[in-house]
Amino acid sequence: MKKLIFNIITIAALFAAPLFGIAQEEGSALIQTQAPQPLQLTLDQALEIALSENNTIKIADMTVEKTGYAKKGSYATLYPNISISGSYQRTLQKQVMVMDMGGQPMEIKVGRDNNISTSATASMPLVNASLWESLKLSGMDVEMAVEQARSSKIAMVKQVKQAFYAVLLAQEAYNVMNQVYENAQKNFEKADQRFNVGKASEVERLRAQVTMLNAEPNVSSAENAVLLATWQLKAVMGIDLGTEVEVVGNLNDYTDMMLTPYASEDDLSKNSSLMQLDIQDRMLESTIRMQKKQYIPTLAASINYNYSAMGDDELRWFPSSTAALSLSIPVFDGLQKHYTIKQTKVTRNMLALQREDTERNLRIAIRNFNDQMALCVKNYEAANATVGIAQKSYDISEKMFEVGKATQVELNDAQVSLMQAQLTQAQAVYDFMVTKASLDELIGKEE
């Protein structure tokens, strides 16, 4: 029983473990600073804020934008590449040539003091099959980035939902513990009154007092768990931890969804992991085609225009231009391209096996999630029936205690049974919704 109570109270604290250090630094400030109007936060509002404020989503969107620029840049290879260059050369000492003139050596200085040259060159590929195939790969890079961004969004939605449910569970545990404490206070007051008029022994009064004092720390622990779970929710949403929020709703709001008959989810067509593996497979297929097209000859065209001048005191300018076609025919490269294609094919076969294992494990996970959800429904139904009985038992014990026909021990036992049933009921709803959030992520639901 103590273990169950401990687990319920601290489950939100376990969710908030990564923020424990932050909580220690900012806890006192947050407690002292109370916003006049806390933000009323529903699950839909939490998801909406997370989609706009969460840094993971922002990074994913930037990655898509970055990949889009890379794709546009790759198309630049299809356009003419134009460059302009110029140079100036000053002759410090001219080269001397010795020539035999009539049997007598003659020294002749060669060159001019000033040499100026400018040129403009334009070139572009005309036939390059492997280049055209590589452009398709750039498009697939963008598709992969978009899918990875979708995966980040789906994972973030799951995290926000689970953090939101953790707050609701912590609040439910706090309400139960607070009710237990209030009942213990009320029972102590009754025991004290009966003791003062001689209708109860001092032992009964002391037991009632001990029960009340033992219930007080549980209230403080439950209240702290609510605070930590709320911090975790704010961290996942991407908002400042100092923002005061009030989570609206309770776990009972989800019982209708829980008890409504549902069909087992087993459609993996939108699973992000499988979709990314499929994109990788198409990228490898395109890579193989690109590597094979490297055997095809390439043809490029270029145009060059030069304008140069030479002279000592007076410069004389001379234009020149050329146009060229360059044909490259691959003949033999030591079978390098052949073995590169073999490697890519092996990589693709390995990817196919990886996808098969991934899909098998995902289907096992789906079956496990569906079984867990079905078990949660059974646990809730059992706990729901137990709560009614336990509440009636406690009410009867309380009345009997007031008239002295039940002991403090019997009243405490009834209170413990009621508390256990209430916490078990809340735990069943929480487990169902957390498992459903994980299942939604697995099958690729974005909301």
| pLDDT tens digits, one per residue of 349-378 | 999 999 999 999 999 999 999 999 999 999
Between 297 and 107, the more confident residue is 297
pLDDT given for residue 25 in this prediction? 41
Whether residue 188 has pLDDT greater than 90: no
Residue 229 has what pLDDT?
94
pTM attached to this predicted model: 0.78
Q: Is the pLDDT of residue 12 over 60?
A: no
Q: Which of 91-105, 270-284, 285-299, 382-396 has the lowest mean pLDDT?
A: 91-105
pLDDT value for 263: 62
Res 143: pLDDT:
92
On the question of pLDDT at 34 being above 50, the answer is no
Sequence-ordered list of residues with C-beta below 8 angstroms from that of 338, at least 6 positions apart, any chain: none
Q: For residue 144, is it left (φ>0), alpha (ψ between -120 and 50) or beta? A: alpha
Helix (H, G, I), strand (E, B) or coil at 127: strand
Task: Answer whether residue 147 shows pLDDT above 50.
Answer: yes
pLDDT at 121 over 90: yes
Residue 118: alpha-carbon gap to chain centroid: 55
Per-residue pLDDT for 17 more than 60?
Answer: no
Question: How large is the average pLDDT for residues 99-116?
Answer: 79
Is pLDDT of 126 > 60? yes
Question: What is the residue-averaged pLDDT of the chain?
Answer: 85
3-state secondary structure of 86: strand
Q: pLDDT grade, residue 191 (50/70/90)?
A: confident
Q: What's the CATH superfamily of 2-80+127-296+333-443?
A: Outer membrane efflux proteins (OEP) (1.20.1600.10)
pLDDT in tens, 201-217: 788 788 888 888 888 89
Lowest mean pLDDT among 96-110, 119-133, 342-356, 390-404: 96-110
Residues 219 and 12: beta-carbon distance below 8 Å? no
pLDDT value of residue 13: 44
Residue 21, pLDDT above cutoff 60? no
Question: What pLDDT shows up at residue 201?
Answer: 78
Distance between CA atoms of 431 and 261, rounded to whole angstroms?
17
Residue 77 is predicted with a pLDDT of: 84
* C-alpha dihedral (428, 429, 431, 436), degrees to nearest 10: 140
pLDDT for the residue 56: 85
153 contacts: CB under 8 Å, gap ≥ 6:
51, 57, 60, 446
Which pair of structure tokens corresponds to residue 420? 């256990």
Confidence of residue 7 (pLDDT cuts 50, 70, 90): low
- Residue from 181, 205, 174 nearest 191 by CA: 205
Cα gap 120→86, rounded to integer Å: 9
Residue 91's pLDDT is 84
Task: Give 264's pLDDT tier (boundaries 50, 70, 90).
Answer: low
pLDDT of residue 300: 94
Q: Identify the residue with better confidence: 36 or 257.
A: 257
Kindly indicate the confidence band of residue 2, based on its pLDDT and cuts at 50, 70 and 90.
very low
pLDDT above 70 (res 257): yes
Phi, psi (5° rounding) for residue 40? Answer: -75, 120
Res 22: pLDDT: 37
Q: CB neighbours (10 Å) of residue 193?
A: 13
